[in-house]
A and B are shown apart, each in its own frame.
Chain A
Amino acid sequence: EAQVTQNPRYLITVTGKKLTVTCSQNMNHEYMSWYRQDPGLGLRQIYYSMNVEVTDKGDVPEGYKVSRKEKRNFPLILESPSPNQTSLYFCASSYGQGPYEQYFGPGTRLTVT
Chain B
Amino acid sequence: AQSVTQLDSHVSVSEGTPVLLRCNYSSSYSPSLFWYVQHPNKGLQLLLKYTSAATLVKGINGFEAEFKKSETSFHLTKPSAHMSDAAEYFCVGNRDDKIIFGKGTRLHILP
Contact = CB atoms under 8 A, between A and B. Distances in A.
Judge: A and B partners, yes or no: yes
Interface of A: 4, 33, 35, 40-45, 48, 56, 90, 92, 97-102, 104-107
Contacts of B98: 97
Interface of B: 9, 32, 34, 36, 42-46, 49, 51, 90, 92, 94-99, 101-104
B43 A99 contact: no
B42 A97 contact: no
A99 B44 contact: no
Contacts of B104: 42
A44 B109 CA distance: 27
Contacts of A99: 32, 49, 51, 94
A97 B96 contact: yes
A92 B101 CA distance: 13
Contacts of B97: 56, 97
B32 A43 contact: no
